Structure 1
Amino acid sequence: MRLLDLLDAARDLDCGAVAGIVVTLTAQHGVAETWTGACVPALRRLAAGPDRPGRPIDIAAEHTLSVGIARGLDLVSAPRHDDIRSNHVLLACAPGEQHDLALKALSAALFERRVGTFALGASLPWESLFMATERTAPGAVVVWSQTADTADVAGLLTVAGCFPDTAFHAGGPGWLAAGVVPRLTRAGLSYLTSLDLAVSACARVREPLDMEA
């Protein structure tokens, strides 16, 4: 799925080219397949280091790839990003968590399913998550944690406990690394292990996004 094209564009530090490839791939294969089949492998390839020993990791290329993928995913779902009245899933990173790229993929994949999102980005304080949930009354909330350091299960359970009619989900490897997934599931929260699972869980909202309005 044009993995080498993504890597070449990233190494050329061409965010626009990366974004264009992502947009093209999503149109041809859908967001989920593009994310799992091209974006994630490309990110892992660059993070693993250079092909030749002794060369430093190309941080600039990694950043270009991440920014370009994010830009492409934003373009995929941009037509309705300004229509917050139709949004029904709230997406946020746990406090201190800066990695929100996977949530952009989820937002774009939900857009394909006619479900809108409130995408609140990186490092959202628990108090702000509470207020956002209260204000928007979403059908579902996804909180992302990339590392064990940001997997604050007590904070998540406290907020989730205030909204028994809203489905709360934990996403990201941080929850698994912290060993808190059993506590989450015992409390009625689900741990999302893949983009497809996240889309299926979050698509169960009260009403669809009206794409024709």
Structure 2
Amino acid sequence: MKPWLVVPVRSIRGGKQRLAGMLSEHERIRLNTTLLEHVLAEATRFPGRGRTLVVTRCAEVAAVAHRAGVEWLIERNLTGMNGALDEARAHLGTNRGSRLMTVSCDLPLLCADDLIALATAAPLATGVALARDHTGCGTNALCLPLDVPFAFSFGKDSAARHRSAAARNGLPVVEVQRPGLAVDLDTPADLQALRFVVPWLWPHARAA
């Protein structure tokens, strides 16, 4: 059975604040929208519209999810990404699929093959697949069983915490190393480095 893909997104207007000195507010909004649209477009290829869930408290994010034809869940607790994933896990329950997969919403190189690789990297019943960010310290993607009390710990240096959480639950970890899962976009340096690699990013980097 295909896993569920959960994409937590805080907001369109509030995202990418570190690019505020490089991009106008309108450009940041457009960039955040385009990045999310890209991730959801790949999600429709795998695991598919019917198994993709966006978690947000932002009406603009919900509108993007609606246009993509995927389900969205209104975040209630407002406790950040980890709380949003806990809400998604409770919403899905164990009867809607055996595994939960989550990826960051700012992966410009992501393709459906990356999501397939993440979903198939670890043993279905017991394993955790983890993809680090390009720094090697953070986590950009996870795939894990839905029915284990795994503690989501996204944030600075989260990869080590996620490995520890897996160990506490006796779950083996397989690390997935693919550019589409590792390369995220947070800083002006990230945008500069990607502007010739991802053509649709260039209009957003014209002020560089």
After TM superposition, the score normalised by the length of structure 1 is 0.32
After TM superposition, the score normalised by the length of structure 2 is 0.32
Question: Which structure: greater strand fraction?
Answer: 2
Higher Rg = 1
